[in-house]
Structure 1
Amino acid sequence: MKSFSKFLILSFVIITISCNKTNKDTIILKKPLQKETAELKIAIDSNTISKFYQTYPKLALYQAEVFKLYKKQGTKQLWLDNKGVVEFGNTLFNKYRGLPDEGLKASFPYNEKINQVFERTLENKLSQIDTDLMITNLYFYYAEKVFHGFDEKTTQSLEWLLPRKKLNYQVFSDSIFHNSAISDSKKNKMFSQYYKLREVLKQYREIEKNGGWKAIEVSNDFKNFKLGDSAVGIAQIRERLYITGDLKENSKSAVCDTVLISAVKNYELHHGKTPKNIILPEHIKEMNVNVSDRIKTIIVNMERCRWIDPELEKGKEFIEVNIPEFKLYVIRDGEISFISPVVVGKAMTKTVIFSGMMQYIVFSPYWVIPQSIINQEIKPGMAKDKDYLAKKQLEWNNGQVRQLPGKNNSLGLVKFLFPNSNNIYFHDTPAKSLFERENRAFSHGCVRVAKPKELAVELLKNDPSWTPERIDKAMHAGKEKWYTLKKKVPVYIGYFTAWVDRNGNVNFYDDVYQRDESLIKLLTEK
């Protein structure tokens, strides 16, 4: 009986193998049928969202947007499938961990919880619902920090009145649905200067990582280095400039040669100084600013870039003034068509950071004197000298004091108006010597232009009836004449102490109004 059973079993095996042979005698081993796993579906509705924010109130800022997002998704999870967190979620977490590369020292309010979701060595104690919601909140947190920066109330407290970039959460929501990049897409483009400064930040962080640069040592009675001089400090200058790329090769020579002088002049040009053929104590002082301080300056200006609407730089024609640079630019069709040095407001009468629309050019203008100047200067002058008004070419006019047109008028021979509540405008000045100074913060708040006639010519280029000769004649007519621009020109007055120019060179400018320190404090505290 046993032998018969063995025979049956052996016969079954042989028959089974024979029946599963191919024409090539290849044996096919059939796999058992597997049941397909159902798609993961987690219901996340308004009730679960409300409960989440009761538990995690520090994220309540994003509640309304999160609710809209899940409603659009059909109250289904966004970041989880049967295998766990989707790849796009891991990409987001890596982006979050890379916030220092964006110049940010920021930490998600529930950092420990979010780390548990992504770190394999940690146990995720969150439910699937809370896990998905936590990742969604990380997404909005990242978008806000990188693409928006401080809120408008904070920036206004910092006296920044330029038009703010609006953060479009809908754009970021669409990115989630398509698992697309959350940065640098056409719809979330930043102000172009942001990307340039971000690259510079990488470079300066690398310099810092390699030890930065050593302080240049000179004696207390040091006056200058000139061509042919020899000193240990000259070799130190050479090394310092080599580290930041102002000098392409470091010969380590302690003799001041033409190569070094040329490199120093290039350095001066990109640090708001007038290039000279000698090396002065002020240049040494500038070079001795350590790399960590330069990094702070870069980070501060990256934050300012977050506040700028990138649409501004797409305008066909606009004027921009960078206060710390003391320069005015006319941009036309994306190219710089005109540059002029400017004088800006003193620390006590700061030029306002704001925008306007230039509408009028006034030739041979009167100067209607502000009440503050009447109180502080004119009334005391009149008290001392009964002929004070006549000597200053001033007159009373309808209860106001104004200065007559002419070459001695404080507004010079022409002014450019973009009506605004700050009463700021551009104008000529008889005090031409101020433009020769490196620090040009001397005005009562308005912007004095070194090349006013040339600016008028540039702005009237498309009006053939206003030739350069006619403009010059109107400026010297001694009679006020108003011209209304055929098309208003946007004006943006900004404040950047670090700026990458169109040749890729980073420029650092003195913080004339001491605005950087308060902003870096806010950034590091947050």
Structure 2
Amino acid sequence: MRNSTSLVLLIAIGFFLWSFGFAEKDKTIIDNKLALSESFLLPEKSASGFSVDNEAIINFFKTYPKLKKYQENVLDLYQKREYKTIWYDDKNISEFGHLLYEKVDLLKEQGIDKKMPYKDLIDEIFNESVTQKPTQTDTELLLSSMYVFYAINVYSGEDAETLKKIGWFLPTKNISYSRILDSLIQDPNRLNKDSHLLYSQYYKLQDVLKKYRTIEKNNLWKKIDIDSATYKELKPMDSSVIVGQIRERLFVVGDLKQNSKRNVYDEEMMAAVLNYKKRYGLTLNYTLTKEHINQMNEPIANRIRTIMINMERCRWIPTKLANADELVMVNIPSFRLFYVKNGKYELVSDVFVGTRMTETVIFSGMIDKIVFSPYWYVPQSIIDNELKLKIASDKNYLEENNMEWNGGRVRQKPGPKNSLGLVKFIFPNPNDIYLHDTPAKTLFGFAKRTFSHGCINVQEARQLAISILKDNPDWPVEKIDKAMSGEKETTCMLKNKIPIYICYFTTWVNDETGEISFFPDVYDRDKQLDKLLYSDDVVIK
């Protein structure tokens, strides 16, 4: 298209000269003007002495079809730069090009187990001993494709449509790879860490991933030898070879700061066992059962894969959400709620969530009101599947459970036995999920807490209401307690809506201690994501 345009321009100028009888001596001046016109129509030459254009880009992706999926993004890079070269200083590849190549070579440190197509050709570009290298244009576009490959895998992760298919309905990133490239070229150190691109938890997991890979490499994850048929629970002051093996494991992962190598379950080891159980979300006691030992014997390769899977989840989190001044976060696998305000944890509470049949959905919303002493309007699914049978077998069932018919629906009246407890927190959503108190306090004593129909039951629901309304003079603690007396339903509309994120992380690094916790994959989401991302050489169990 550009060549035909130039030809038309040339003919037009020739006709102009002929029409007005320009002298031969003026031809040189006109030729110079024509050259200026040509340089305006073609892409501006870069310092390296060559440029790319649409035709070159199209031909490149025909030659390298395995990179076709990056074509649109690569084209955008050059359109934003008026088709100037990106990767060359004079005639040599820029320092940033070399840095990016090194980062692609170390993708495993980013928790990524993928190889770029035509990586062997890119290796040749950076191998000084290779004389037959790709052409400059091919090199330029190979490196641009390498950048897009890197940026997609490290900064974005899976696309929004794929995430919806696997049940992840939290907001996803909307980023410009061209803008990211500009920022990285200006400050290459951002290749190592960039809090504007990746959620801070990502880098904490990355540090632990390095530690666990070192443990694996040095063969420090030694199996604890037990006979399942004869194993007896270990308790403080017990003595055996197994105790020494457990001690070594606790030392390797950091629960023990020193390894005395004693075979006695002493006080030092008791503290380490409690720390281990806390990190794994287990019931806090000193007893070591066969199940605990089996958990310790899980291959370290599985632990490494779990870390990688959760690093991938961190890629999906927009950093602006994580940096909000105020938010509520619920992590389903850890059965924990966190209320964060001004960068600090105002409240941490245990919760229980949906069963496998009624899984709690992974999504976000905005808490806009708190309802004290609420009615519970029984969902139609519960009426059809449970309540009708109970009413049929016991005509007094509704009265005995403080329930009543209301406009064709069943509702439970306010009171201490109400299934929602004495307070609920509303964030409008199509799943009809909300946070609420519960009269079933004993359920918080279980380590694995999947009991609800999908809503999130909060152990410290009263304290959460107090914390949220702390700066609201219209709602002192005394008024909150009166509203929670169970006498009548009272609604408090929040002046400022609070973001809530219901997440799914099966491993998490403590911001203060740097210790990693592992939680049960209660909905088998790790297995699903592992199958999507990686090969089948390691199976998450």
Relative to the length of structure 1, the TM-score reads 0.89
Q: Does residue 197 of structure 2 align to residue 174 of structure 1? A: no
Could you tell me how far 1:520 is from its partner in structure 2? 1.6
Q: Does residue 529 of structure 2 align to residue 519 of structure 1? A: yes
Alignment counterpart, residue 241 of structure 2, candidates 210, 224, 232: 232
Partner-residue secondary structure (3-state), 1:348: coil
Aligned partners of 1:302 and 1:340: how far apart in 2?
24
**CA deviations over 1:383-421 (Å, ceiling 9, x no partner):** 222222222222111121111111111111111111111
Letter in 1 for 2:176: N
Q: Does residue 272 of structure 2 align to residue 254 of structure 1? A: no
Match of 1:191 in 2: 199
Could you tell me how far 1:177 is from its partner in structure 2? 5.3
Q: Does residue 296 of structure 2 align to residue 287 of structure 1? A: yes
Match of 2:125 in 1: 117
Could you tell me how far 1:286 is from its partner in structure 2? 2.2
Are the structure 2 counterparts of residues 231 and 279 from structure 1 closer, same or farther at C-alpha, using a change threshold of 3 Å?
Answer: same
Partner-residue secondary structure (3-state), 2:226: coil
Runs of 4+ off more than 6 Å: none
Deviates more, 1:293-302 or 1:109-118: 109-118
Could you tell me how far 1:333 is from its partner in structure 2? 0.7
Partner-residue secondary structure (3-state), 2:188: coil
Alignment counterpart, residue 506 of structure 1, candidates 516, 519, 525: 516
Q: Does residue 402 of structure 2 align to residue 393 of structure 1? A: yes
Q: What are the within-5 Å matches in structure 2 for residues 320-335 of structure 1? A: 320-335=329-344
Match of 1:159 in 2: 167
Aligned partners of 1:210 and 1:186: how far apart in 2?
30
Q: Does residue 85 of structure 2 align to residue 77 of structure 1? A: yes
Residues 48, 91 of structure 2: 8 Å contact kept? no
Q: What are the within-5 Å matches in structure 2 for residues 204-215 of structure 1? A: 204-215=212-223
Residues 425, 434 of structure 2: 8 Å contact kept? yes
Q: Does residue 493 of structure 2 align to residue 489 of structure 1? A: no
Alignment counterpart, residue 60 of structure 2, candidates 37, 52, 68: 52
Q: Does residue 155 of structure 2 align to residue 147 of structure 1? A: yes
Alignment counterpart, residue 421 of structure 2, candidates 397, 404, 412: 412
Q: Does residue 142 of structure 2 align to residue 134 of structure 1? A: yes
Aligned partners of 1:416 and 1:221: how far apart in 2?
50
Aligned partners of 1:448 and 1:134: how far apart in 2?
52
**CA deviations over 1:151-178 (Å, ceiling 9, x no partner):** 1111111111111122221322314654
Are the structure 2 counterparts of residues 124 and 431 from structure 1 closer, same or farther at C-alpha, using a change threshold of 3 Å?
Answer: farther
Letter in 1 for 2:345: I
Letter in 2 for 1:290: P
Alignment counterpart, residue 423 of structure 1, candidates 425, 432, 445: 432
Letter in 2 for 1:169: Y
Residues 41, 77 of structure 1: 8 Å contact kept? no
Letter in 2 for 1:449: V
Are the structure 2 counterparts of residues 62 and 187 from structure 1 closer, same or farther at C-alpha, using a change threshold of 3 Å?
Answer: farther
Residues 358, 419 of structure 1: 8 Å contact kept? yes
Q: Does residue 253 of structure 2 align to residue 244 of structure 1? A: yes
Q: Does residue 263 of structure 2 align to residue 263 of structure 1? A: no
What is the root-mean-square deviation in Å for CA atoms of aligned residues?
Answer: 1.9
Match of 2:369 in 1: 360
Residues 184, 190 of structure 1: 8 Å contact kept? no
Match of 1:12 in 2: none
Are the structure 2 counterparts of residues 240 and 108 from structure 1 closer, same or farther at C-alpha, using a change threshold of 3 Å?
Answer: same
Could you tell me how far 1:228 is from its partner in structure 2? 1.7
Aligned residues: 489
Could you tell me how far 1:436 is from its partner in structure 2? 0.7
Are the structure 2 counterparts of residues 429 and 188 from structure 1 closer, same or farther at C-alpha, using a change threshold of 3 Å?
Answer: closer
Match of 1:463 in 2: 472
Deviates more, 1:211-220 or 1:421-430: 211-220
Residues 343, 442 of structure 1: 8 Å contact kept? yes
Letter in 1 for 2:156: H
Aligned partners of 1:81 and 1:266: how far apart in 2?
54
Match of 2:327 in 1: 318
Partner-residue secondary structure (3-state), 1:325: coil
Partner-residue secondary structure (3-state), 2:451: strand
Letter in 1 for 2:488: K
Aligned partners of 1:448 and 1:489: how far apart in 2?
18
Partner-residue secondary structure (3-state), 2:66: helix
Residues 328, 499 of structure 2: 8 Å contact kept? yes
Aligned partners of 1:59 and 1:187: how far apart in 2?
29
Residues 80, 178 of structure 2: 8 Å contact kept? no
Letter in 1 for 2:208: V
Aligned partners of 1:263 and 1:182: how far apart in 2?
37
Match of 1:15 in 2: none
Letter in 2 for 1:415: K
Letter in 2 for 1:365: P
Match of 2:388 in 1: 379
Aligned partners of 1:457 and 1:508: how far apart in 2?
30
Q: Does residue 431 of structure 2 align to residue 434 of structure 1? A: no
Residues 171, 188 of structure 1: 8 Å contact kept? no
Could you tell me how far 1:185 is from its partner in structure 2? 6.1
Q: What are the within-5 Å matches in structure 2 for residues 440-455 of structure 1? A: 440-455=449-464
Aligned partners of 2:338 and 2:450: how far apart in 1?
18
**CA deviations over 1:200-256 (Å, ceiling 9, x no partner):** 000000000011422222342433212221111101111111111111111111111
Q: Structure 2, unaligned stretches of length 5 or more?
A: 1-45, 537-541
Aligned partners of 2:184 and 2:65: how far apart in 1?
23
Q: Which has the larger radius of gyration?
A: 1
Aligned partners of 1:179 and 1:371: how far apart in 2?
57
Relative to the length of structure 2, the TM-score reads 0.87
Aligned partners of 1:69 and 1:434: how far apart in 2?
55
Aligned partners of 1:192 and 1:236: how far apart in 2?
34
Are the structure 2 counterparts of residues 112 and 366 from structure 1 closer, same or farther at C-alpha, using a change threshold of 3 Å?
Answer: same
Residues 334, 506 of structure 2: 8 Å contact kept? yes
**CA deviations over 1:432-467 (Å, ceiling 9, x no partner):** 100011111111000001111111111110112322
Are the structure 2 counterparts of residues 82 and 487 from structure 1 closer, same or farther at C-alpha, using a change threshold of 3 Å?
Answer: closer
Could you tell me how far 1:112 is from its partner in structure 2? 2.6
Q: Structure 1, unaligned stretches of length 5 or more?
A: 1-37
Are the structure 2 counterparts of residues 471 and 72 from structure 1 closer, same or farther at C-alpha, using a change threshold of 3 Å?
Answer: closer
Letter in 2 for 1:504: G
Q: Does residue 305 of structure 2 align to residue 296 of structure 1? A: yes
Residues 423, 437 of structure 2: 8 Å contact kept? yes
Residues 358, 452 of structure 2: 8 Å contact kept? yes
Residues 196, 319 of structure 2: 8 Å contact kept? no
**CA deviations over 1:468-522 (Å, ceiling 9, x no partner):** 2221111114211111011111101101011001221111111111111121222
**CA deviations over 1:9-50 (Å, ceiling 9, x no partner):** xxxxxxxxxxxxxxxxxxxxxxxxxxxxx9531121111111
Residues 422, 486 of structure 2: 8 Å contact kept? no
Aligned partners of 1:164 and 1:68: how far apart in 2?
21
Aligned partners of 2:239 and 2:186: how far apart in 1?
64
